[in-house]
Every structure is written in structure tokens, then in C-alpha cells.
Amino acid sequence: MKRYLCSIIIGLVVILSIGTYYVKVASSASGLPMYTFKKLEGSSKELDPVIIHGSHEADPYFESLTIESNQTTYDSEKSYFESLTGRQDAQMGRLMKEHRSFMRGKDYIDSFYEDSDFLAYASVNEDFTKNGNMEAEFDIALLEKKGNDETSFSLELPDQVRKMNTNVVDVQLVHSKLQVLTTNDVNSNDDKQTKEVHLYTIDLANKKVISDKTLFSETYKGNDQVEVGMPVDVAPTQSNNMILFSVIKGVNHEDGSYEERPNESKLLSYNYETEKMEHVKWPKNESLSLDKIRKGFGDGKNLYVVDNQSNNYHIKTIDLSSQKVTKDLELDLAVHKNEEYFATVKNGSVYLLLGNDRYPEEMDYKTKPPQLLIADLKTGKTLYKGETVIQSAEQKKTKNLGFYVENIEVK
């Protein structure tokens, strides 16, 4: 026995030390505090589809966490295999679960179109050849849900010599033709730059690009800048007649600062049915800056805009066809300076989450608990109101206790 002493000691030390270490690591995660929403008003049922991503500030590092259906889960509690997937958009997660084989290798929710019969996908695959030229092609895929029939093919991107890059921002299926809306940067030799928005129509039966329409093109030079963006689509995969995009113009000053030119910036809408492009205007007397508008939420008919100019938060509805503010609802949520808000619109409700004071005036980090308000989009009536409470056995042990909101999602 004595002869084996060396090996036995090493064996025991290995098992005991590594074993205890990992047991301790695993159990320390359960010592983290749990955040839940305490109901102040309304029905707790409204919380079920709400997913909030945030982090708990525990010295010396942040622990990422997710509150889903009012249940806190820390990323560090997840098993290795669960954490492999990373943080995922709820809609992408659902599509991957339902159509695992079709979704293989596909990403970006804006590249999808879904109705009861079809799931369509379009993206642009850009490759650079050795002599620096771009070779781009469309990757198109269509899933017929009933028969579970998958078709996929690639098509050459028309007129690609001109383009520097192509971004798919919306996909629609109109009269069994795939409509792919892209934003592009255009190649040029001089100091001019051009931004374009293209609409490609793809014939799925004959696997051909049948049209390439330039919806918008703006050339600028020097220090000017043009950005094309989209207000958030409430249901990016669903059938929509109308798509909105904001064109923001500005100038980069010599000293490195950027100044927007609000008078030249605009909001445009395109109607897939009527194939018409329109300039969206709204009454000037409404205190709605373009900045607010482009952070709005569109559902194809209306644009919903969160307004925090008055004492309480407001949600304004702009009807896109009549270009009027049809509703201005005051919500039961007070506006505080320095407070970040996170908003989303889904299922006919608006979800407003007030984050913490990240940069309070007097550097006084007495953070207020985040507040969540769920209100009906039509009436503005509060469906749920609540604020986070902390449940922790070792609350006092952590020096700097704080919960920071990163974003809110609704299933």
C-alpha cells in the first residue's frame, strides 16, 4: 500500500479539490437575487408573454439575466448546452422550433415572410472575389407548410457591379411573387456616395428576378450624410401592405461633430398593393419630432409613437393612409428626467418599461426599481402596472445591488 501513496494522494487531491470547486461554482449561482414584478394594478396574466433582458450588477461583474413570464433566470445558471445558442430573438426562436430543418443556417427576422400556408426567406449572399469584385446572389427559400415542401435556389443579383452592399429589410409574398426590399450603397469613383432602396420582384415558379425597381436614390458628397432606416415593424414576418422608411440627412462637421438636418429628413412609405411611394406627413402642431417617429412601431396601417414630452407618457397613433394623428392617449405612467424607457408594441398593447437612472444628475445611484406598464393601444387603459422587487437571501452581502434593463420583448 505504501508504494502507491504518491498516486493515491494525487488521485484524492484531484477529485476533492476540482470536485469541491465546481460544486461551489454551481451553487453560487443560486445565491443570486431573484427579480419579479409586483403587481400594482391590473391583471398579472398580462405578464406571461413578456421577456425582459437585463443584468444584475454584482461585484465584480454583471450577471446577465432574463425575466420571462415573471421568472428570473441567470445566464450562468443555464447548462452549457442551453447557453450555446446565446440570446435569441423570441420570434426567431419560435420559427427555429417549428421549422428546424428549414431554418438551418438562416438568420435575421426581417428576411422572413410568414402566413398560414407559406414561410418564405430571402437574403443576399455577398462574396468577394480575389480581384476585389463583389459577387452577390439571392438565397431564396420557400416552405409550403402543408406538405412540408422545401424549395430553395440562388439567383444572381441584378446590376451588382454598381453595388457596394445589399441589405434585406423586408420580404413579402404578393400574388405568389416574392417582394424583396433592400437598402444599398452604390459604388462610385469620385467622392460622391449614393444610398438606394430597391424592390426586387422574384417569380418563385420560374425562379427568376422579374423586376428591379429603384424606390429611392439619393446622392450626396463630401461631409454630408444620408441614412436610411426603418421604424420597428410590429410583426416583421407577417403580411403587410405598407413599409415605412426614414431618410435622415445630416452633415459631419470638420470638428467631428454630427448635425442632423431635420427639415431635409423625411419619412416615406411604400405600398406593395398600389405600388405607390408616398411622403408621410403629420400635423406640425403635434409635438412629434422625426426622431420620435423613426423610433415608432408600424403595423402596416398605423404608426405608434411613444411621446415623453409632457408629464405622463403618451402613445400617439398616426393613420398612414390619412396621415393624421387619430389617437393621442395619455398613459398612467409619469415621465422622469434621466430615465431610460424601453417600449414595444404587440398584440394590440403597448409595453413600456422604465429603466434605471443610469446617469443621475448628482451621481446619486439610488436606483428606483424598474416599472412596467402594459396598456391597450385603442383605449390607453392600463392592463397591468407593476414594479420589480428583489428577493434575495444574501441581499446585504452584495455591495452594489442593481438591476439594469437591456431590452423588452413580447412573445
The correct pick among 32, 35, 46, 60 for binding other proteins (CB under 8 A) is 60
Q: How many residues does the chain have?
A: 411
* Helix, strand, or coil (residue 141): strand
The correct pick among 28, 30, 338, 391 for binding other proteins (CB under 8 A) is 28
Q: Which is nearer to other proteins, 9 or 334 (CB)?
A: 9
Q: Which is nearer to other proteins, 14 or 210 (CB)?
A: 14
**Cβ 348 to other proteins, closest distance in Å?**
33
Q: Which is nearer to other proteins, 75 or 406 (CB)?
A: 75
Q: Residues 6 or more apart from 179 whose CB is under 8 A from it?
A: 170, 171, 172, 173, 199, 200, 201, 202, 272
**Cβ 92 to other proteins, closest distance in Å?**
12
Question: Are the CB atoms for 300 and 319 separated by under 8 Å?
Answer: no
Q: By CB under 8 A, is residue 359 in contact with other proteins?
A: no
Q: By CB under 8 A, is residue 7 in contact with other proteins?
A: yes
Binding string to other proteins for residues 381 to 400, with x set by CB under 8 A, is what? ------------------x-
CA atoms 85, 240, 231, 314: torsion sign: negative
Residue 370 CA neighbour count, 13 Å, CB half: 30
Q: Which is nearer to other proteins, 71 or 125 (CB)?
A: 125
Question: Are the CB atoms for 36 and 67 separated by under 8 Å?
Answer: yes
Residues 79, 241: Cα–Cα separation, whole Å: 43
DSSP-assigned letters across all residues of 241-262: SEEEEEEEEEEE-TTS-EEE-T
Q: Which three cell numbers stand for residue 58?
A: 454584482
**Cβ 364 to other proteins, closest distance in Å?**
16
| Binding footprint of other proteins, residue count (CB under 8 A) | 31
Q: By CB under 8 A, is residue 24 in contact with other proteins?
A: yes
Residues of the shown chain interacting with other proteins in the complex, contacts defined by CB under 8 A: 3-4, 6-7, 10-11, 13-14, 16-18, 21-22, 24-26, 28, 59-61, 79-81, 84-86, 96, 100, 104-105, 399
